[in-house]
Structure 1
Amino acid sequence: MPALAALAVLAGLWLASAGPADAPSRDGVQVNRLVRWQDAQRDWLLVADRSSHELVVYDARTGSPLQRLGADDGLGEVDSIARAGDRLLVQGAEGPAKVLTLPDLHAAGLAAR
């Protein structure tokens, strides 16, 4: 799939994943702050912590925090998140969204055209 088409699909999934009507909103757009992700070895809750503007990863079984990512890690301010397969879309209050791969939480590279 061409890089721009993949990005458009991710953006559409992110917009379609808006929470219930009482979810927090920014400029009238609903945002998600919690995503669950599982594979054979892991069961995670990924949280957009709006008080610290970080992405926090918790073990869903124990509730233990596993990792925090934010501006110091090159992620910028985290305001909302959405999942599409093995990708996590992270949006801040400003700037473009970042796409991270799961489970390594590294920036996803776009294929060359």
Structure 2
Amino acid sequence: VDLIIWDLHGEDDFQHVRLSYLKGSSGCIYVADGTREKTLLTALNLKEIAENTLGEIPCVLVINKLDLKDQWEIDQSILDDMKRKGMMIFQTSAKTGEEVQQAFQLLTQKMMEK
């Protein structure tokens, strides 16, 4: 399986450009910074844009900075509620690598099942 990964910053004003990158995508990973609640809202907004463009495709929500969990602004109950509604969520640390590989593996598995 080959993955092409686009890192599209979520806070710029180039959403029309971003849509051209999305076309043809088979899956998405949305990343939020656990220490900044605003990034979760941005990630969920990007997810909605992608779904409007691509339809339903496999996606994973990654909440990064697990190594700074004591500084998180994102409430665990919100994540638990989203999981109950079927969203695949991983709490990761890019610094330590914790759960990063698992997020990519699950996304790839879901993409191959589709």
TM-score, reference length from structure 2: 0.25
More strand by share: 1
More helix by share: 2
Q: Which has the higher contact order (CA 8 A, sep 6+)?
A: 2
